Amino acid sequence: MTEFRDSAWSDIKVGAIVKIMENQAFPCDVVMINTSLAKGVCYVETKNLDGETNLKQKTSAEKLVGLGADDEVVSRNLNGSIIDCEAENEFLYTF
């Protein structure tokens, strides 16, 4: 697992598991596994994407929340896993 603060965006490869800390800027094309808040909830400011400064609530998929209790659990549970999802597109508000 890589802590995002120690890496440049260009150094992160597809499939990497990164740890993003509170108040850090990060690329929008990440899949959230879990958060420190209950039920995998976090609040994200998207002003660099849409100009809005209000926080938007995002939630991890229910199946992923239990897989990421701490760094070791994430590595153990997700090492070698595959996330199958849609290709990139212009639709900012859906995934």
The residue ranges of every structural domain in the chain are 2-78
pLDDT, mean of each 10-residue run, the chain (95 residues): 62 81 80 84 85 86 78 81 81 75
CB count within 10 Å of CB 35 equals 18
C-beta of residue 64 within 8 angstroms of C-beta of residue 33: yes
Predicted pLDDT at 62: 84
pLDDT of res. 94:
76
- Which residue's structure tokens are 């897989």? 67
* CB half-sphere exposure, 19, CA atoms < 13 A: 14
* pLDDT for the residue numbered 88: 79
Please give the pLDDT value at position 6: 60
Cβ burial of 26 (10 Å; 0-12, 13-18, 19+) is middle
